[in-house]
C-alpha cells in the first residue's frame, strides 16, 4: 500500500517537515522574498516576476497560505499577500532548535 505514513511520526517532526515542504520549491522561496521586500504584494506583481502562469502562482500562494507562512486577503479583483511573521519566526526558531540540538553532539563524523 502506498499510503503515506507521516502520521506515525511525532507532531514536531510532522510540523517541521510540513514547513520544509512549503519551502521546498524555488518559486515559493522567491515569492517569500518578494513579500518580504515589499511587505505586501498583489498576485499580479508576483505573476509578472515569475516564469509561471497565473494559475500556477495562485496555487503556490495557496500552499504557502495553507502552511501558515503567509496570509492574504482578496477583495474582488485585487489581492494582498503578506508574510505571516509570527508563524515564520516560530518555524525558524524550531528549525534552529533542531540544528542546535544536532550541533551539540560530536562534530566529527566517523565516515
- Interface residue list for DNA (CB under 7 A): 1-6, 21, 24-25, 27, 42-44, 47, 51-56, 58-63, 72, 74-79
**Which phi and psi angles does 23 have, rounded to 5°?**
-90, 5
Residue among 48, 68, 72, 90 that touches a copy of itself (CB under 8 A)? 72
Residues 25-64 that bind a copy of itself (CB under 8 A): 25-30, 32-33, 36-37, 39-40, 51-52
> β-strand 70-75 against 78-83: which pairing, if any?
antiparallel
Q: Considering the complex, what minimum distance in angstroms separates the CB of residue 93 from DNA?
A: 24
Residue number, 37 or 104, with CB nearest to DNA: 37
- The verdict on 87 binding a copy of itself (CB under 8 A) reads no
Q: How far apart are CA 82 and CA 71, in angstroms?
A: 5
Q: For residues 42 and 53, what is the distance between their CA atoms, to the nearest angstrom? A: 15
In whole angstroms, what is the distance from residue 1 CA to residue 28 CA? Answer: 31
Amino acid at each position: 500500500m502506498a499510503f503515506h505514513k507521516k502520521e506515525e511520526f511525532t507532531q514536531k517532526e510532522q510540523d517541521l517537515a510540513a514547513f520544509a515542504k512549503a519551502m521546498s520549491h524555488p518559486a515559493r522561496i522567491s515569492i517569500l522574498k518578494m513579500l518580504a521586500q515589499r511587505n505586501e504584494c498583489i498576485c499580479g506583481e508576483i505573476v509578472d516576476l515569475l516564469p509561471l502562469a497565473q494559475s500556477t502562482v495562485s496555487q503556490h500562494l495557496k500552499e504557502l497560505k495553507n502552511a501558515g507562512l503567509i496570509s492574504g486577503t482578496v477583495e474582488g479583483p485585487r489581492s494582498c499577500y503578506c508574510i505571516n511573521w509570527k508563524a515564520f519566526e516560530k518555524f525558524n526558531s524550531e528549525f534552529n532548535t533542531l540544528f542546535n540540538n544536532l550541533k551539540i553532539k560530536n562534530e566529527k563524523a566517523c565516515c
